[in-house]
């Protein structure tokens, strides 16, 4: 009987740990959404600069800004995906 009660306590502690982990993951979700929105804005800005490049913003600065914004958008996408995967897998 003592062994069964110990097992119940162990299961309760595991359930409590799982609930805490899920709560922590939900706390991080707004950060991931903000990063996703930032990456979308950067991607749209890169597309705008690319369009302006085709229409008249030529030269070094047009290409440089377009490339810079595109790289920043890709980096924020990568960071967002890694943040979500890390929280989803339960790693810290």
Round to whole Å and give the CA distance between 64 and 67: 5
Quick: pLDDT tens for 5-64.
Answer: 566 777 777 777 766 666 565 566 677 777 777 777 887 877 777 777 666 666 667 677
Say if residues 22 and 85 touch (Cβ distance below 8 Å).
no
**84 pLDDT above the threshold of 70:** yes
- Please report the pLDDT score of residue 92 as a whole number: 46
- Please report the pLDDT score of residue 68 as a whole number: 81
Taking the whole predicted model, whether its pTM rises above 0.85 is answered as: no
Output DSSP code: residue 59: S
Round to whole Å and give the CA distance between 11 and 86: 25
Torsion of CA 73, 78, 83, 88, to 10 degrees: 130
> Where is pLDDT greater, at 39 or 2?
39
């Amino acid at each position: 009987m003592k062994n069964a009660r110990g097992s119940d306590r162990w299961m309760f502690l595991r359930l409590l740990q799982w609930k805490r982990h899920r709560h922590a993951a939900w706390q991080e979700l707004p950060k991931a959404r903000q990063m996703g929105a930032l990456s979308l804005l950067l991607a749209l800005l890169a597309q705008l600069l690319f369009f302006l490049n085709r229409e008249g913003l030529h030269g070094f600065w047009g290409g440089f800004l377009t490339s810079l914004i595109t790289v920043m958008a890709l980096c924020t996408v990568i960071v967002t995906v890694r943040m979500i995967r890390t929280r989803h897998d339960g790693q810290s």
